[in-house]
């Protein structure tokens, strides 16, 4: 029964793209792969954790898939260290990944000089979305361009009887809000010293405290029904004009599209509140479980190549809502939010990874636990600060 | 013969006299109370189903805007057809029907074998009481408290080492392992209420271990077997994680597809399709529940002993 | 044909020593009746012989083989449980044929035996019923039937006829006796019915509190009880006990009675004058006009074919069986005599027969 | 004698043979997995088990983790209430359904159906129903109680009760089925005797039926305890542990660390810690039972 | 004190009409004994009186009130089940006291009653045991005890002494009689023991196949059975039936016998010559040297206080009770006479008494 590699380059790919929009995107890659001569065998598993767990267990059970989706984060670092992944150095070299891929992503997929994953896309998590209708109703004329603007806008929305911040009260969504605050209120330097360097001094600094305060302040703009809410239900509030703003990743566009709303007309998107707010990169990638079977290795390499071809990149990301990983794609056919994102990406100094790129899953989780507790309880800022400090200590 | 079946025993009694029984007023009040309780409980139980059903026939727009209790404004079965035959679960958009036969193939052996083993264990434990078996049982009971996910990793390794990983026998074996504590407990405790003398009589009659089990004990187990089937079939049918990890690509159960339809982190969500898919998936256990009634027989050991 | 031999048997249940140091040897083909008061350990003993409870000491030998730890199914035993223990899910027929089917007896043979036994037990119309739809007596008969079809080496019957009417009981008693003669199997039979004990037994064992008091033929046990317990236990109404003294001339003297017992066959030596208890059965007390002793009628119990007359004689109550229907009045003074040839004498201290 | 006794016990090997699958499963899978977990919990394993021994470090970490501590507290409250409420409700349903009610089959299915539904979807329904503003609160307000408040699901202190409601809803039917099967097994004659004694029905249940159901109740109890302690799916589906960490439970902590957070050592430590109270409760119970048996023997010996 | 009146009672179980159109009126304070072959519907009848099974027709009246559909608890009934139906999880004491505790009887009173009843039933040392740890007879006594503590208006006993030894049985029989006299409650008592029936009953009801055959005092039923069934059912050994002819001079003539029955009190008119069945009880057949008829000894059953001698007379087997121990030999020819004043005559067609 075990799917032993056969001479034909049959490639079983585990991924978690299961919703309608994601499926369409996945299908695009599959089609491209097939066109390139591969045989795509689809193993979709809903839920990122779940899908990764399956992949890992299949590797352990000596029945690995040809490729498995991971995030472009430290998630697969352990696998690499255990020698469980094949590298795709050949492809990376021949395709010149070093040149076309953004730095934060390269830092993750390149481990000790070897390339262990092929990135697929860039999601930006900390977009500020707003309902034009709601803004109009609240009398907000212009898109907030500073943090203070934003708070002012939120206050106005509140005054107009509109839910200022459409928020899904789940820990990961709170982390997104936090990252948005850290990036926009704290700025890139603070962001990196806290998240990347885990610098105790920075964490205990007054500036970081301000970030936390701002983060907590956001909570006051949510409605009582927010805890536990799914992000799409929050987006629905935006769509219906019941709420004014949401901080969420670019996948939100799928919901707007489903409700036949158009970017720039019905809703607006703000990537950052300052001209140099970091663009927090997150994305998906495929890793290649270790195998010595040459045809499987070929299949893996083929996938690595296909995924990064510009046309695939463009079409895939259009469907997925993200932006292409390579900077050399013509994005004129994409929506204005994506285009804005691509524009920002051109500025290398604004490319910064999300926390998962820098933190181990474990540290990241601990951070998330503290943030959500802080968000939802009356935890004093100092305590949150202290807890974060100790969670990010080694 | 038929006296054992409730349909022949209890029901005629009940149906013969209601018109007379009404005369006693204490009786009807009690009845009233019973029905009041049952009906209010039923309403409580049915409320979520109502929401699921109405949601499944609403359009996404209506769900997004409307009240969850509201009746659908435009009734549409589209979600059901999508759920059944065209929802995407990855690049394949064939709905949840694809895994149906897999689920059946997994569920049948994974229901029968664990129940058989559970009954066998219970029987051996409560009638034969072999030395040391109770210690074993104790360990098993403690083991029932381990979250099964913790055991996945070692089990994957074990199964891989005996070449059963990612196969139908493998997933059946895994279900057998995980259901063993509860199934054993279920039968062991049930058998402890059967008069021991019956077992003794069968031993005098020369019955061996297997004979007594098959011919005497199993026929007396119908009510508990029904409960066991309800539990085990539901458990296996609704299992997701084990099927996902152990069954292998070719045998993925329906629930994997169901989860793929329902569960998404960053994709769009189709609540109406989710609800339809959930209800569709649960139809098999639901049918079982409905038809199981006739095996909930009364007084299966009646007339066996006096005392 | 198999003998049963119990040696130094001890049985403990729930921490109570029910039977201790019991020795009993049942000959092959014997019909042994176990008698004893309720709770004395009769059923326990049968269960031990059948191997259904573990003995704590001693050994059980069947057909010359040590079976102390053998499986019940190896012992070739048929048993009627006091509580019936019918298989509730099986019909009467299945209940009875279960053992045979297990043994692999041919179908035709099973059918033949079932038919025979069902006929004998008047169960034929009930063969397709389940136990729950049977009356108490019918259940008991199924239990008997289940044992009988087996034609085992040793049969253990635990009060098998207790819930049957007198007529059926006497029929079955006769059938059992016939069967025993036919099969020549060994039977150990617990009963509380004196008629059964007397008519069926080749020997009777009287037990009390887990100990055997007397073993002997029915006549022997009835007529020469070894101690007060056995004397009092057998016979209905019970033996009359009269305290008195035995003088050197072997005359028994009590408040109300005085009689010559010089023909009495003493079991042990004794020295006079001695306190004794005189045991005399109700049927040995005849109420007649030429009786020697005087009593007043206290109570009359008509029994159909006889009547039991309770007499007051001094402080003593004496029962007497009168075999005709002549009328008595309460309070009426009557004369009675005692048939001295069948009396028993007991030592009041040791309670043993003198 | 001893030797003979031994021979008797070992003579029929069939029971031992029959229990072989159970022995294998118990020793290999359960005992094995437990020992494996203990071993891993003493290591610094992350995604994969490794052999680097770190002593009790994971346990220290565990008990310094506020989320874990809160999880423990939550599960303790939840387990007690869940067992209690499910049992009582399930028992009542079983008893009432057992009163020869009409439409028994329909009612039984109604009470049992939640058990058949994947909680991924039903959890969402519960979340909707409990969410203030759209669910029950909204409905009741519409019915003319504008001040009605039902916001447990967003309340730090009450959210665990919403999980309780939903899981009881899911499980009570199964409890009912289990107890119904046991109820039907009670000899009608006992009922008759009790009716003659003039014992009110509720008293019969309390004093006679419930004691006779003891084995079934024990089954239910164990079943509910295991489900309660392993509570996970419902939390994920309804609250994801929120608001904040208010509805976090140990199994979710373990699962998060097992998969998402790639720290199987800590997860294993958590799993091992889950077993501690179980053993702590079960062991004295088993001990007491064997003691009791011995004591009875002892006392009755004295009586003689 | 409560009477019980059953009118046109019909009961159906599992589709079988067990009892049909039964009328019975039990006086308050009466001690009614139900007799009948196994499976005839005695237990069913008791259950119907107690309200434990639904009647399909007719009515049950207790203490003058229609109780047909009343709850068992309203009927003020104490009952001993044939199957005991003890509460398995309660100790003996709890089993007995449960009903009282529910009724709110004061604790002291409960203790008093339990003590009394336990004493009477020899259960005192077993009060703390559970039924599973009791012997069959002990369980039965608990069942009796549970009924007795209630001091109900009507007691229903279903073979309450069947599993007890003769001695205990006779003690309890007497205790029950005393209790009945004390409490003056109505008792309906099923038994298969003739002695119990004869000694306890104020009236006996003989049933067959769900129908009442005869109701009357013990003597009446025993001596003047209304039909062949009753005649054959009562008495052990059973009545001897001899087919013959009655001529115009009221002489009975059969192959082997011939006797003058002109003193016989005919119940109905009849025309001669008529085929008849002569019923004569074994105790009315005396084996004596001056007997008129001849028979050969076939079988002798010693019963302790009497012996049953089976005689072959022509094709007929005749049983006779001999009240002494004189020896008989199988095959020996003996003379016997028949006491004609207690014989019964039956119409062979209708089976009714002539
Ligand atoms: N559930 C039932 N279905 C069908 N027939 C039944 C059922 N219960 C009892 N019977 C039949 O009803 C008849 C009367 O039963 P009942 O128990 O009243 O007899 P009984 O006179 O008490 O006999 P016994 O002396 O043997 O106890 C029996 O022939 C029995 O087979
Ligand atoms: N499980 C037990 N635990 C303790 N004592 C028990 C147990 N089972 C039986 N006994 C006691 O053992 C004694 C013997 O019981 P057994 O059943 O052998 O009596 P029996 O002679 O058959 O009496 P009966 O004539 O009443 O049936 C009784 O006094 C009983 O109370
Ligand atoms: Mg006994
Ligand atoms: Mg009966």
Write the DSSP string, D1-32.
-HHHHHHHHHH--HHHHHTHHHHHIIIIIIIH
The reported pLDDT for the residue numbered B23 is 42
Give the minimum alpha-carbon distance from D2 to chain E in angstroms, rounded to a whole number. Answer: 26
Cβ neighbors of B307 (< 8 A, separation 6 or more) are: C83, E83, E84, E86, E131, E132, E136, E139
C-alpha to C-alpha distance for A68 and A287, rounded to whole angstroms: 5
Q: Is the pLDDT of residue B3 over 60?
A: no
Give the minimum alpha-carbon distance from B212 to chain A in angstroms, rounded to a whole number. Answer: 39
Express each pLDDT in E2-13 by its tens digit: 899 999 999 999
Residue D240 touches partner A, C-beta closer than 8 Å? yes
Are B20 and E86 within 8 A, CB to CB? no
Say yes or no: CB of residue C134 within 6 Å of ligand 1: yes
Q: Rounded to the nearest whole angstrom, what is the distance from the C-alpha of residue B307 to the centroid of ligand 4?
A: 14
A358-376 as b/e: b if 16+ CB within 10 A: bbbbbbbbbbbbbbbbbbb
The reported pLDDT for the residue numbered E225 is 92
Q: Is the pLDDT of residue E246 over 90?
A: no
Q: What percent of chain B has pLDDT over 70?
A: 91
Residue E166 touches partner C, C-beta closer than 8 Å? yes
Q: Is the pLDDT of residue C275 over 70?
A: yes
Mean pLDDT computed over A34-47: 89
User: D40 and D268 in contact (C-beta within 8 Å)?
Assistant: yes
Say yes or no: CB of residue C166 within 6 Å of ligand 1: no
Mean pLDDT computed over D159-164: 92
Q: What are the structure tokens assigned to B104, written together?
A: 């059946």
Express each pLDDT in E90-121 by its tens digit: 999 999 999 898 888 999 999 999 999 999 99
Give the minimum alpha-carbon distance from B202 to chain E in angstroms, rounded to a whole number. Answer: 19
**ipTM for the complex shown:** 0.90
Residue D260 touches partner E, C-beta closer than 8 Å? no
The reported pLDDT for the residue numbered B7 is 37
Q: Rounded to the nearest whole angstrom, what is the distance from the C-alpha of residue C79 to the centroid of ligand 1?
A: 24
Q: Is the pLDDT of residue B8 over 50?
A: no
**Confidence band (pLDDT; 50, 70, 90) for A1?**
very low
Q: Rounded to the nearest whole angstrom, what is the distance from the C-alpha of residue E90 to the centroid of ligand 3?
A: 21
**Confidence band (pLDDT; 50, 70, 90) for A164?**
very high
The reported pLDDT for the residue numbered D295 is 52
Ligand nearest to the CA of C163: 1
Q: Is the pLDDT of residue D302 over 70?
A: no
Mean pLDDT computed over C235-247: 87
Q: Is the pLDDT of residue C263 over 90?
A: no
Pocket of ligand 2 (CB under 6 A): C 13-14, 16, 18, 36, 38-44, 82; E 133-138, 163
φ and ψ at A248, to 5 degrees?
-165, 165
The reported pLDDT for the residue numbered D50 is 86
Choose among E165, E237, E283: nearest Cβ to C38: E165
**Confidence band (pLDDT; 50, 70, 90) for D267?**
very high
Instruction: Give the neighbours of chain A: at least 3 Cβ pairs within 8 Å.
Output: B, D
The reported pLDDT for the residue numbered B69 is 87
Express each pLDDT in A63-110 by its tens digit: 899 999 999 988 898 899 989 999 999 999 998 998 889 988 999 999
The CATH 1.10.3720.10 portion of chain B extends over 100-256+283-304
Q: Of ligand 1's atoms, which has the minimum distance to the CA of residue E45?
A: 18
User: C92 and C141 in contact (C-beta within 8 Å)?
Assistant: no
List the 310-369 stretch of A: residues with Cβ below 8 A of D. 360-362, 364-366, 369
Q: Rounded to the nearest whole angstrom, what is the distance from the C-alpha of residue C160 to the centroid of ligand 1?
A: 18
Pick the CATH number of D42-275 from 1.10.3330.10, 1.10.3720.10, 3.90.550.10, 3.20.20.140: 1.10.3720.10
C-alpha to C-alpha distance for D258 and B156, rounded to whole angstroms: 15
The reported pLDDT for the residue numbered A7 is 47
Q: Is the pLDDT of residue C352 over 90?
A: no
Express each pLDDT in E124-181 by its tens digit: 999 999 999 999 999 999 999 999 998 888 999 999 999 998 889 888 998 998 889 8
Architecture per CATH, domain B100-256+283-304, reads as: Orthogonal Bundle (1.10)
C-alpha to C-alpha distance for A108 and C300, rounded to whole angstroms: 111
Q: What are the structure tokens assigned to E268, written together?
A: 């109905």
Say yes or no: CB of residue E319 within 6 Å of ligand 1: no
Express each pLDDT in B208-258 by its tens digit: 889 899 999 999 999 999 999 999 999 999 998 899 899 888 898 998 888
The reported pLDDT for the residue numbered A117 is 94
**Confidence band (pLDDT; 50, 70, 90) for D292?**
low
Chains E and A touch (3+ CB pairs under 8 A): no
Q: Is the pLDDT of residue B10 over 60?
A: no
Give contacts of B198 with chain C, Cβ < 8 Å. 85-88
C-alpha to C-alpha distance for E117 and E126, rounded to whole angstroms: 12
Mean pLDDT computed over A262-270: 91
C-alpha to C-alpha distance for D58 and C328, rounded to whole angstroms: 98
Instruction: For chain D, give the mean pLDDT.
Output: 86
The reported pLDDT for the residue numbered E259 is 86
The reported pLDDT for the residue numbered E325 is 79
The reported pLDDT for the residue numbered D297 is 44
Express each pLDDT in B123-174 by its tens digit: 999 988 888 888 889 889 988 888 888 888 889 989 999 999 989 999 999 9
From the candidates C8, C10, C12, C15, which should be mutated to test the interface with D, based on the most D CB atoms within 10 A?
C15
The reported pLDDT for the residue numbered D290 is 66
Least confident of B33-37, B180-184, B246-250, E259-263: E259-263
Express each pLDDT in A217-239 by its tens digit: 999 999 988 888 888 889 989 99
User: A225 and A242 in contact (C-beta within 8 Å)?
Assistant: no
Say yes or no: CB of residue E39 within 6 Å of ligand 1: yes
User: B252 and B244 in contact (C-beta within 8 Å)?
Assistant: yes
Choose among A41, A61, A123: nearest Cβ to B166: A61
The reported pLDDT for the residue numbered D301 is 38
φ and ψ at B145, to 5 degrees?
-90, -5
Q: What percent of chain E has pLDDT over 70?
A: 99
Residue contacts between A and B (CB atoms, under 8 Å): 131
Q: Is the pLDDT of residue C311 over 60?
A: yes
Q: Rounded to the nearest whole angstrom, what is the distance from the C-alpha of residue E54 to the centroid of ligand 1?
A: 15
Q: Is the pLDDT of residue E89 over 80?
A: yes
Are D203 and E125 within 8 A, CB to CB? no
List the 117-136 stretch of A: residues with Cβ below 8 A of B. 123
Q: Name the β-bridge partners of C155.
A: C78, C187
Q: Which of E44, E48, E209 is the best mutation target for the ligand 1 pocket, counting ligand atoms within 8 Å of the beta carbon and taking the most?
A: E44
Does D10 or A376 have the greater pLDDT score? A376
The reported pLDDT for the residue numbered D90 is 95
Distances (CA, A) of D297 to B86, D293, D300, E228: 69, 6, 5, 57
Are E304 and C233 within 8 A, CB to CB? no
Residue A62 touches partner B, C-beta closer than 8 Å? yes
Q: Is the pLDDT of residue D231 over 50?
A: yes
Q: Where are the alpha helices (DSSP H) in E149-283?
A: 166-183, 194-200, 218-223, 228-233
Q: Rounded to the nearest whole angstrom, what is the distance from the C-alpha of residue E350 to the centroid of ligand 4?
A: 28
The reported pLDDT for the residue numbered B19 is 37
User: A207 and A186 in contact (C-beta within 8 Å)?
Assistant: yes
Q: Is the pLDDT of residue D8 over 70?
A: no
The reported pLDDT for the residue numbered D10 is 46
Q: Where are the beta strands (DSSP E) in chain B?
A: none
The reported pLDDT for the residue numbered D1 is 41
Give the number of other Cβ atoms within 10 Å of residue B2's Cβ. 11
Mean pLDDT computed over B201-211: 88
Q: Is the pLDDT of residue B112 over 50?
A: yes
Mean pLDDT computed over E3-26: 92
Mean pLDDT computed over C316-337: 88
The reported pLDDT for the residue numbered A5 is 39
**Confidence band (pLDDT; 50, 70, 90) for B90?**
confident
Say yes or no: CB of residue B3 within 6 Å of ligand 1: yes
């Amino acid at each position: 029964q075990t799917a032993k590699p056969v001479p034909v380059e049959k490639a079983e790919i585990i991924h978690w793209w299961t919703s309608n929009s994601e499926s369409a995107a996945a299908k695009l890659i599959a089609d491209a792969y097939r066109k390139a001569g591969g045989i795509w065998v689809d193993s979709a598993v809903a839920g990122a954790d779940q899908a990764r767990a399956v992949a890992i267990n299949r590797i352990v059970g000596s029945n690995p898939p040809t490729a498995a989706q991971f995030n472009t984060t430290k998630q697969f670092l352990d696998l690499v260290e255990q020698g469980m992944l094949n590298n795709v150095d050949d492809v990376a070299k021949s395709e010149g990944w070093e040149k076309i891929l953004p730095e934060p992503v390269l830092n993750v997929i390149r481990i000790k000089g070897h390339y262990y994953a092929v990135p697929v896309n860039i999601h930006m998590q900390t977009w500020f979305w707003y309902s034009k209708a709601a803004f109009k109703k609240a009398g907000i004329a212009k898109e907030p361009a500073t943090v203070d603007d934003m708070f002012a806008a939120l206050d106005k929305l509140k005054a107009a009887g509109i839910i200022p911040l459409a928020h899904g009260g789940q820990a990961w969504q709170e982390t997104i809000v936090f990252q948005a605050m850290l990036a926009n209120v704290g700025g890139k330097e603070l962001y990196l010293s806290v998240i990347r360097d885990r610098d105790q001094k920075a964490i205990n600094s007054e500036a970081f405290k301000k970030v936390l305060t701002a983060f907590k302040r956001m909570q006051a703009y949510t409605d009582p029904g927010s805890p536990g809410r799914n992000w799409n239900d929050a987006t629905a509030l935006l769509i219906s004009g019941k709420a004014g703003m949401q901080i969420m990743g670019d996948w939100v566009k799928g919901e707007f599209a489903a409700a036949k709303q158009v970017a720039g007309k019905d809703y607006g998107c703000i990537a950052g509140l300052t001209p140099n707010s970091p663009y927090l990169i997150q994305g998906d990638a495929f890793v290649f479980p270790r195998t010595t079977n040459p045809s499987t290795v070929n299949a893996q390499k083929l996938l690595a190549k296909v995924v990064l071809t510009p046309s695939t990149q463009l079409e895939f990301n259009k469907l997925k809502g993200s932006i292409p990983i390579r900077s050399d794609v013509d994005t004129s056919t994409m929506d204005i939010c994506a285009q804005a994102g691509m524009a920002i990406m051109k500025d290398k100094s604004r490319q910064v990874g999300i926390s998962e790129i820098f933190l181990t899953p474990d540290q990241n989780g601990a951070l998330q636990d503290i943030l959500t507790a802080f968000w939802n309880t009356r935890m004093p800022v100092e305590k949150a600060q202290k807890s974060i400090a100790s969670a990010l200590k080694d | 013969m038929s006296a054992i079946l409730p349909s022949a025993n209890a029901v005629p009694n009940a149906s013969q006299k209601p018109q007379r029984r009404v005369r006693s007023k204490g009786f009807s009040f009690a009845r009233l109370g019973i029905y009041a309780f049952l009906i209010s409980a039923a309403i409580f139980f049915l409320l979520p189903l109502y929401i699921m059903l109405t949601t499944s026939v609403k359009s996404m727009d209506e769900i997004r805007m409307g009240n969850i209790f509201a009746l659908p404004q435009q009734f549409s079965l589209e979600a059901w057809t999508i759920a059944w035959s065209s929802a995407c679960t990855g690049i394949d958009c064939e709905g949840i029907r694809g895994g149906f036969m897999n689920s059946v193939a997994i569920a049948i052996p994974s229901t029968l074998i664990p129940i058989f083993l559970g009954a066998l264990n219970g029987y051996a434990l409560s009638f034969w009481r072999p030395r040391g078996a109770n210690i074993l049982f104790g360990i098993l009971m403690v083991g029932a408290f381990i979250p099964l996910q913790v055991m996945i990793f070692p089990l994957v390794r074990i199964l891989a080492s005996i070449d059963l990983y990612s196969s139908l026998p493998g997933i059946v074996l895994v279900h057998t392992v995980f259901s063993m504590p509860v199934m054993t407990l279920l039968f062991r405790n049930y058998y402890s209420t059967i008069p021991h003398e019956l077992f003794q009589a069968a031993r005098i009659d020369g019955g061996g271990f297997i004979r007594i089990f098959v011919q005497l004990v199993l026929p007396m187990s119908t009510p508990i077997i029904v409960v066991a089937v309800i539990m085990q079939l539901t458990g296996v049918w609704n299992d997701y994680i084990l099927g996902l990890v152990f069954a292998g690509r070719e045998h993925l159960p329906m629930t994997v597809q169901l989860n793929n339809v329902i569960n998404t982190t960053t994709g769009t969500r189709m609540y109406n399709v989710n609800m339809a898919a959930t209800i569709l998936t649960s139809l098999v256990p639901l049918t079982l529940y409905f038809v199981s009634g006739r095996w909930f027989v009364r007084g299966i050991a009646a007339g066996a002993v006096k005392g | 044909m198999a003998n049963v031999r119990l040696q130094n048997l001890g049985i403990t249940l729930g921490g109570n020593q029910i039977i201790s140091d019991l020795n009993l040897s049942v000959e092959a083909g014997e019909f042994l009746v176990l008698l004893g008061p309720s709770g004395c350990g009769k059923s326990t003993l049968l269960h031990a012989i059948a191997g259904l409870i573990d003995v704590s000491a001693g050994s059980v030998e069947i057909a010359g083989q040590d079976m102390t730890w053998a499986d019940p199914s190896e012992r070739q035993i048929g048993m009627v449980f006091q509580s019936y223990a019918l298989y509730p899910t099986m019909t009467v027929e299945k209940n009875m044929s279960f053992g045979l089917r297990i043994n692999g007896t041919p179908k035709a043979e099973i059918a033949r035996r079932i038919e025979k036994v069902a006929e004998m037990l008047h169960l034929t119309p009930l063969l397709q019923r389940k136990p729950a739809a049977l009356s108490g007596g019918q259940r008991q008969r199924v239990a008997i039937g289940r044992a009988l079809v087996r034609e085992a080496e040793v049969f253990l019957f635990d009060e098998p006829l207790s819930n049957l009417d007198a007529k059926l009981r006497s029929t079955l008693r006769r059938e059992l006796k016939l069967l025993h003669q036919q099969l020549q199997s060994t039977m150990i039979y617990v009963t509380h019915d004196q008629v059964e004990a007397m008519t069926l037994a080749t020997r009777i064992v009287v037990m009390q509190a887990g100990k055997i008091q007397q073993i002997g033929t029915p006549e022997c046990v009835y007529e020469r009880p070894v101690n007060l317990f056995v004397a009092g236990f057998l016979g209905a109404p019970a033996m009359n006990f009269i305290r008195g003294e035995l003088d050197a001339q072997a005359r028994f003297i009590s408040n109300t009675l005085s009689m010559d017992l010089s023909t009495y066959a003493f079991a042990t030596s004794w020295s006079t004058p001695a306190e004794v208890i005189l045991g005399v059965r109700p049927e040995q007390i005849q109420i007649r006009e030429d009786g020697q002793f005087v009593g007043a009628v206290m109570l009359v119990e008509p029994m159909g074919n006889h009547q039991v007359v309770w007499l007051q004689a001094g402080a003593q109550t004496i029962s007497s069986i009168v075999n005709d229907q002549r009328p008595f009045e309460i309070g009426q003074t009557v004369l009675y005599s005692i048939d001295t040839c069948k009396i028993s004498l007991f030592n009041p201290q040791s309670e043993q027969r003198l | 004698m001893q030797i003979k006794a031994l021979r008797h016990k070992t003579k029929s090997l069939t029971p031992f043979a029959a229990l072989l699958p159970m022995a294998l499963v118990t020793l290999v899978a359960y005992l094995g997995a437990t020992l494996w977990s203990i071993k891993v919990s003493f290591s610094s394993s992350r995604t994969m088990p490794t052999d680097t021994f770190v002593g009790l470090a994971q346990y220290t970490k565990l008990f310094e983790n506020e989320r874990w501590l809160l999880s423990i507290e939550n599960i303790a409250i939840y387990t007690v209430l869940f067992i209690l409420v499910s049992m009582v409700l399930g028992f009542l349903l079983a008893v009432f359904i057992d009163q020869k009610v009409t439409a028994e089959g329909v009612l039984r299915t109604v009470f049992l159906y939640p058990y058949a539904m994947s909680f991924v979807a039903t959890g969402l329904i519960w979340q909707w129903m409990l969410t203030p503003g759209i669910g029950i609160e909204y409905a009741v307000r519409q019915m003319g109680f504008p001040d009605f408040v039902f916001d447990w699901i967003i309340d730090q202190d009450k959210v665990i009760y919403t999980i309780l409601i939903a899981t009881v809803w899911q499980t009570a039917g199964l409890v009912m089925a289990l107890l119904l099967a046991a109820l039907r097994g009670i000899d009608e004659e006992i009922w008759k005797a009790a009716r003659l004694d003039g014992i009110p029905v509720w008293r019969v249940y309390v004093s006679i039926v419930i004691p006779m159901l003891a084995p079934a109740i024990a089954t239910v109890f164990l079943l509910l305890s295991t489900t309660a302690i392993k509570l996970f799916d419902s939390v994920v589906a309804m609250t994801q542990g929120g608001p904040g960490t208010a509805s976090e439970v140990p199994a979710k902590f373990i699962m998060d660390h097992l998969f998402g957070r790639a720290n199987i050592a800590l997860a294993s430590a958590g799993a091992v810690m889950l077993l501690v109270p179980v053993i702590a409760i079960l062991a004295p119970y088993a001990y007491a039972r064997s003691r009791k048996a011995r004591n009875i023997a002892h006392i009755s010996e004295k009586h003689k």
